[in-house]
Structure formats: C-alpha cells, structure tokens
C-alpha cells in the first residue's frame, strides 16, 4: 500500500466528484462517477449491492480512481488500487447519508431505492499520482 499525502487527502475529502473504473466480466472497462471519501489512508466509495461496480469488484478487486479538484480541475489525484473490504449494513447507510450532506446539504440520502442495500467499497491505493 502507498500512502496518501495531504494534498490527496484534501481533494478526496473535498466536495469533488470521483470516477471509478472497474473491470467488466469480458475485460472491458466500466467507469462511473461517484461521491468519494477517505479515512486518511484508504479511499471510500459508497454504492448499492448489485450495481455494475459492486459486481465487478466482487469478481476482480482492481480499480482506478480519479478525482479533480472542483475549484481547479488541473489539481487532481489519480490512483490505482484494489478493493480490500466491503462494509454493509448501518455503517454503509450512515456513510451514504454523510456523503449526501457533503455533496447536497441533505442529511439523508434522497435517491435511495426501496430494498436497496448500501455498501462501502474500501480501496487500498497501490499507486498514486497527485498534480
């Protein structure tokens, strides 16, 4: 694992959209814009069980994540890594609510679908580029 520096942590904690690339079953890439967070050493992506990115990382944990600073898109963090943990349940539900507050100002995630199960994908960086 490589260490996130302060600039990378700042970009990940900021109100900046990330793009996560996963690998489809046929080997082709799949890219999705997502809300992003960090615990200071790993990247946290929240999604729903059954979505393409969740299915893909269950089969192949390798990912790439890119996040540009909304205030200056030439300032960014890009990383390769692997999903090392998936967290379900209340912790994942609370996490999507905290991301909703960060990105929209709403304390509760407004786009929840009935019977949706949220999951936090914990990404351990193996290579980081910060501009």
Say if residues 80 and 64 touch (Cβ distance below 8 Å): yes
22-30: list long-range contacts, CB under 8 Å, 24+ apart: 22/52, 22/53, 22/56, 22/57, 22/60, 22/62, 22/63, 23/56, 23/60, 23/62, 24/52, 24/56, 25/56, 25/59, 30/56
Q: Can you give the pLDDT at residue 1?
A: 78
Using DSSP, state whether 39 is helix, strand or coil. coil
Which residues are paired to 105 by β-bridges? none
Structural domain 6-130, CATH architecture: Roll (2.30)
pLDDT in tens, the chain (131 residues): 799 999 999 999 999 999 999 999 999 999 999 999 999 999 999 999 999 999 999 999 999 999 999 999 999 999 999 999 999 999 999 999 999 999 999 999 998 888 999 999 999 999 999 99
């Amino acid at each position: 694992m490589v260490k996130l520096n302060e600039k990378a942590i700042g970009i990940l904690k900021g109100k900046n959209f990330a793009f996560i690339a996963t690998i489809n079953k046929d080997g082709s890439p799949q890219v999705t814009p997502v809300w992003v967070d960090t615990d200071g050493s790993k990247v946290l992506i929240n999604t729903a069980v059954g979505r393409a990115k969740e299915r893909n990382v269950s089969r192949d944990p390798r990912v790439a994540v890119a996040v540009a600073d909304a205030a200056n898109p030439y300032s960014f963090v890009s990383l390769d890594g692997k999903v090392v943990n998936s967290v379900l349940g209340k912790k994942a539900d609370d996490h999507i609510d905290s991301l909703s507050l960060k990105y929209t100002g709403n304390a509760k995630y407004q786009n929840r679908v009935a019977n949706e199960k949220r999951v936090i994908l914990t990404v351990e960086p193996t290579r980081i580029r910060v501009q």
